[in-house]
Amino acid sequence: MYQVTFSEQSLRELGKLSTREQMSLVESISGLTDAELAHPKEPVGRFHRNGKTFYRLRSGEHRLYFEVRGEDTLYCEYMLHRNTWTDFLFRSKFPVSEEQMLEQHQSFWKYLESLNKKD
């Protein structure tokens, strides 16, 4: 079982949820195993960005983007509502996978970085 830490953006999003939803999300990410991260398949995905390995966990209505830090810690960088991402893909009509999209589309990364800067 992993220890999970959250960025400010993730904590803000988590705080908007009911206690039950919070517990479900934390349980879904903290319960990931080494095997699931080594060989990800739905609901977990993996991609590389600027020399880092990021993971995406689909959990209910949310998408958690995180990285492994140390041997037993997952750092949740971003928590997004699934409709935000689905709407983005639908409106943009990108003919590529989500992982390719994340690696190639700079505006998405600028958007994610802006979420951490909001108060």
Instruction: Convert the chain into a string of H (helix), E (strand) and C (coil).
Output: CCEEEECHHHHHHHHCCCHHHHHHHHHHHHCCCHHHHHCCCCCEEEEEECCEEEEEEEECCEEEEEEEECCCEEEEEEEEEHHHHHHHHHHHCCCCCHHHHHHHCHHHHHHHHHHHHCC
Parse the chain into domains and list their residue ranges. 3-117
Residues 4-53 have pLDDT tens digits of: 999 998 899 899 999 999 999 999 999 999 999 999 999 998 877 768 88
Identify the residue with better confidence: 57 or 100.
57
pLDDT at 95: 44
Query: For residue 91, how many C-alpha atoms fall within 13 Å in the half-sphere facing its CB?
Result: 6
Rounded to 5 degrees, φ, ψ at 50 are 50, 45
Using the predicted structure, report yes or no on whether residue 108 has a pLDDT greater than 50.
yes
Give percent of the chain with pLDDT exceeding 90. 40
Angle formed at CA 45 by CA 76 and CA 99, multiple of 5 degrees? 100
Q: Any idea which of 28-32, 81-85, 111-115 has the lowest mean pLDDT? A: 81-85
For residue 99, name the pLDDT band (cuts at 50, 70, 90). Answer: low
Provide the edge-to-edge strand list for the sheet that holds 73-81. 3-6, 73-81, 62-69, 52-59, 44-49
Q: What pLDDT was estimated at residue 20? A: 95
Instruction: Write the CATH number of the domain with boundaries 3-117.
Output: 3.30.2310.20
